Structure 1
Amino acid sequence: MKKWFLLVVLLGLMLFVVACSDDSSSSDSDGNAGNNSDGETNTDNGGSGDSDSGGDPVELDFWVFGNAGYDVLAEEYKKDNPNVTININEGEMADQHNNLFTSISGGSGAPDIAMVEVSEIAKFMEASDQFYNLNDYGAADVGGNFLEWKWQQAQSVDGSFQIGLPTDIGPTTMFYRTDVMEEAGLPTDRDELAAELDTWDAYYEAAKTIKDATDKPIADAPKLVFNALRDQEEQQYFDEEGNLIIDNVKEAYDYTTKMIGEGLIGQNSLWTPEWGSAMADGSYATMPGAPGWMVGNVKGNAPDASGLWDIASIPEGAGNWGGSFLTVPAESEHPQEAYDFIAWLTAPEQQLKAFHEKGLFPSAPDVYENEEFLATTDEYFNGAPTAAIFAEAAKSVTPVYMGVNYSIVDTELDTAITNVAVEGADPQDEWDAAVERIETQLERQ
């Protein structure tokens, strides 16, 4: 009996030890699951992103251009995803695109996430094998969040490949200086001014009035005037078969160069220090063809001009200037984490924040119905209801096919206009020379 009793006791002790060991392992496993592998906790598609908040550290290099304010949003994302660090590299748009193209061509040096502007997206789409197909990571599930035409700009013809998620669009308006308008005897109220400058002929007449009264040009950057007219065309540089149809914008070119010749437009090039200083000085009257993302540029260049700038509708209807996409180059070792971040960054909630912070107009139409969005005013722009103004402009936008070689044409026409403005060159000679350069470059493609 003693032997049987001791055996029972011994077995009981062994079972107790095993049970304690199993319980300890189970407890440790449950604890780790709460931080690392609990699907419901860490893969929620809600506002905090999809990345595993307790996983291994991940660093994502993110190339951006312009004044997007994504650094602030990246820090917000990191609060809910502490293992994910977003390293933002900011640069000039042309430089970032050139560096990206060089990197993917050479097979090294590309970031995890790259911002690509709409005029460049077709070129990179031709190198789609150098990018992850975002449909493989969930993009097809969020396509309905965006304007259909915007979504399709970064999609293959058959819809099977999605190279990028849309950020903003650029419905155009007219920014103007109330002090210059008042000095010229023109309306300062945005609705009254829009009614008076409802055509480009009326804009030309106003330019002469402003010049006579103030000795200031109606606009300081010739490219802005040309862009505003060009972006109202249903076709610009290429048709959908890739044929050059540059004569479509000859009228816009002639209008711009005529005003240059009469001293009604200044000679500053976009993005130069002189261009920025002129915003602060009030040395011109209007900025036509200005999209929502230009709000941040004006505020940054003219911080002390609050209340002197206002926004009205542009003559003869809005066009669209700009807007971008977020892509994931194939070199990235963290495509899922990169996708999770850009899906969060381009969601309607974050697009609303980007609009409030930097004026980036949302490509997610759900935002247009948001009461907070529609009630948005901007004291810097004299209390203008900026959201409502840009939303109204967006309704009249007609998407335009841009083509792979859009930047070639645009750069050469910009050179021609600049030569007319700065060097006093003959407009027709410059046009002919630009067309010749364009055709030569296109033959090499």
Structure 2
Amino acid sequence: MKKWLMLLLTVGLFMLLVACSDDDSSGNNDSDDNNDSEATETDDSEGASGSGDGVELDFWVFGSAGYDVLADEYMEENPNVIININEGEMEDVHNNLFTSISAGSGAPDISMIEVSNIAKFMEASDQFYNLYDYGAEDVKDKYLDWKWLQAESVDGSFQLGLPTDIGPTTMFYRTDVMEEAGFPTDPEELAAEIDTWDAYYDAAQKIYDKTGKPITDSPELMFNAIRDQQDQQYFNEDDELIMEDTVKEAYDFTTKMIEEGYVGQNSLWTPEWGSAMEDGSYATLIGAPAWMIANVKGNAPDSGGNWSLTTIPEGAGNWGGSFLTIPAESEHPQEAYDFIEWLVSPEIQLKSFHNNGLFPSAPEVYEDEEFLATTDDYFSGAETARIFAEAAESVQPVYMGVNYSIANDEIVTALTNVAVEGADPQDEWDAAISRIESQLERQ
């Protein structure tokens, strides 16, 4: 009997303790609910990685890309994403970005990087997110191979940025000068007649004899046009100088043309270079990329109908274009990636082309009938989109290297000395190589 009494007392005491515990839990329910609510509100305001909700993204841009308008469109579709655009000059953006990642603070969530600076930032790839970790592999096939490779590590394991626009090169020409020299002015007919660099040289002789004008006015552009067709230029992938075996032929061709009076003396971006577009003082703007259309129109507003364009002899190169990157300081890499993937998608690149003239790096756009039907009355009704698309698909991949600008600047100096001062081409080449090697030794 005593054992049963003790058992009943134990059970009763246990039930009393449980009831008290339930009362305490019930009394804390409101508090827990409030905590859950506060946690939810915090999540909504700060966002979780990959959610694309409730985050602010700082975006550094340069040029006239029109990304502010497109960012507004993205924010309308994704109301919990705020994109703050900071526009600056290209050089300033690159300098500020390099300073920020070097200091470990101050970098944005997203930054544009122009192709000539890609190798420099690739050396600091540990300060950027690898876009292959966020879905880049799934969109890789949407872009031109050579464009994609410009921002990929040599071993293919790291993707620094997603491709934006490109600058495939063509031949702009003055229809009035060509007609005076006895050449056809139709783009396809002229391209068939001047289809090699030897044919271009012959055309230069004929144009000079008939009109007294050079075939082109910029030594730098003449050299660039041939240089950019090469699959190797100043450096190999080990950053070894290889100019003697790659671009010397382009240099020799250019200096020969200069010495014979077929290439003018104007330096790029000078008032004289701009004025010559209006004056019609030469025949071709050789190696001109897609974005040069706006430059010609701006410098020669009264020359509409006297300009046209066609393919460049022996293929095409590329001049310009950018990538969108995500610095490692970003606290929202997935949201940043989602935005830039949308921004450079084929559909949005088509919008960028129509809105701001950015030539697409996604060949899917080249199949769009509206795109292919694009013509330009200023350029004598030429099918500009089709011509640039054909050029884009003939570009060869090329490794530029972190010291690209050092080599290129010295070659431009040599060409200028030959054109303006009548200096000996070989002496100038040798001096340029010496200056380049000296600078590389100090790197």
Superposition pairs of residues 152-163 of structure 1, within 5 angstroms: 152-163=149-160
Residue 123 of structure 2 corresponds to 126
Mapped partners of 2:389, 2:350: distance in 1 = 13
Structure 1 residue 100, shift from structure 2 partner = 2.9
Structure 1 residue 372, shift from structure 2 partner = 2.0
Specify whether residues 89 and 274 from structure 1 end up closer, same or farther in structure 2 by C-alpha distance, changes over 3 A only. Answer: farther
Q: How many residues align?
A: 405
Q: Is the 8 A contact 1:145 1:366 kept in 2?
A: yes
Residue 145 of structure 1 corresponds to 142
Deviations 1:155-186 (Å, cap 9, x if unpaired)?
23454422100112332211111122223332
Residue 183 of structure 2 corresponds to 186
Residue 204 of structure 1 corresponds to 201
Mapped partners of 1:192, 1:75: distance in 2 = 44
Residue 168 of structure 1 corresponds to 165
Residue 416 of structure 1 corresponds to 414
Mapped partners of 1:274, 1:335: distance in 2 = 46
Q: Which has the larger radius of gyration?
A: 2
Within the alignment, does 1:314 sit opposite 2:286 as a pair?
Answer: no
Structure 1 residue 78, shift from structure 2 partner = 4.1
Mapped partners of 2:284, 2:234: distance in 1 = 26
Amino acid at match of 1:277: S
Mapped partners of 2:336, 2:377: distance in 1 = 36
Residue 230 of structure 2 corresponds to 233
Deviations 1:121-170 (Å, cap 9, x if unpaired)?
12211101121222343323322322233223322345442210011233
Secondary structure at 2:374's aligned position in 1?
coil
Structure 2 alignment gaps of length 5 or more: 1-29
Amino acid at match of 1:193: L
Structure 1 residue 333, shift from structure 2 partner = 4.7
Q: Is the 8 A contact 2:317 2:396 kept in 1?
A: yes
Structure 1 alignment gaps of length 5 or more: 1-21, 44-49
Matching residue within 107, 110, 115 for 1:110: 107
Matching residue within 265, 283, 286 for 1:285: 283
Amino acid at match of 2:344: T
Specify whether residues 68 and 180 from structure 1 end up closer, same or farther in structure 2 by C-alpha distance, changes over 3 A only. Answer: farther
Q: Is the 8 A contact 1:227 1:289 kept in 2?
A: yes
TM-score, scaled relative to structure 1: 0.81
Identity %: 72
Amino acid at match of 2:77: D
Within the alignment, does 1:378 sit opposite 2:369 as a pair?
Answer: no
Within the alignment, does 1:261 sit opposite 2:264 as a pair?
Answer: no
Amino acid at match of 1:434: A
Deviations 1:193-225 (Å, cap 9, x if unpaired)?
112211222222322333333333221221111
Deviations 1:387-414 (Å, cap 9, x if unpaired)?
2212222332221222222222112111
Within the alignment, does 1:430 sit opposite 2:428 as a pair?
Answer: yes
TM-score, scaled relative to structure 2: 0.82
Superposition pairs of residues 375-414 of structure 1, within 5 angstroms: 375-414=373-412
Mapped partners of 1:157, 1:194: distance in 2 = 36
Specify whether residues 268 and 110 from structure 1 end up closer, same or farther in structure 2 by C-alpha distance, changes over 3 A only. Answer: farther
Amino acid at match of 1:288: I
Residue 273 of structure 1 corresponds to 271
Deviations 1:227-277 (Å, cap 9, x if unpaired)?
111122232112233321101211111111222223322222223333233
Amino acid at match of 2:125: S
Residue 16 of structure 1 corresponds to none
Amino acid at match of 1:323: G
Mapped partners of 1:279, 1:321: distance in 2 = 19
Secondary structure at 1:179's aligned position in 2?
helix
Structure 1 residue 426, shift from structure 2 partner = 2.3
Residue 6 of structure 2 corresponds to none
Q: Is the 8 A contact 2:172 2:288 kept in 1?
A: yes
